[in-house]
A and B are shown apart, each in its own frame.
Chain A
Amino acid sequence: EAAVTQSPRNKVAVTGGKVTLSCNQTNNHNNMYWYRQDTGHGLRLIHYSYGAGSTEKGDIPDGYKASRPSQENFSLILELATPSQTSVYFCASGDLTGAYAEQFFGPGTRLTVL
């Protein structure tokens, strides 16, 4: 069954530490996305990718990097984690097929930065 999976599901990190969030999709979609979800803001786009080797900045990219080593995998990297990056992070995949613009979401990663 096609799916988007994320690891880890929960992470506690220390301020200044490096954090890597991983995402894998079996939908064979070209586009992948990283969002963060905060109360009162809904989901906000951090980075996205058109395909293997590409990464693009979204609406709130500061403090984050992304890596797309393959069609299936898309990582979000926090080089120097800060408490303001405590949030729930969602990965999604999606393509435009004809007129369709749907995105499929993973279960989320809850990150706490102490």
Chain B
Amino acid sequence: AQSVTQPDARVTVSEGASLQLRCKYSYFGTPYLFWYVQYPRQGLQLLLKYYPGDPVVQGVNGFEAEFSKSNSSFHLRKASVHWSDWAVYFCAVSPLLLSGSFNKLTFGAGTRLAVCP
């Protein structure tokens, strides 16, 4: 069965500092991987997604993530954090499926990011 672990429940960074949010996945085979962001009192929005190919994927608002099969990881990074990045970030995994199949997402518990001035 697939699973996702986000080892850091809460991360605090200073505005302008760099950021890494960790994600470890468990899945036998090649997965789809996602990072979603949840701003206060809103639903989840997709930041970026990984499909087999280039291990570094670019997302919105300067976010990127790097897939590592050897480490079973998909860490999220940003070079310079802005106060508007204050949110909860979820990593998710889905099996690599054929078109038309059901795509079950398994989410991690989330990492709450706080940004200090």
Contacts and interface: CB of A to CB of B under 8 A. Distances in A.
B58 interface: no
Interface string B52-74: 00000000000000000000000
Contacts of A45: 104-105
Majority secondary structure, B binding face: loop
A100 B101 CA distance: 11
A56 to B, nearest CB: 8
Given A41-B109, A108-B43, A50 B51 contact: no
Interface residues of B, number: 30
A111 B44 CA distance: 18
A105 interface: yes
Interface of B: 4, 6, 9, 32, 34, 36, 41-46, 49, 51, 90, 94, 96-105, 107-110
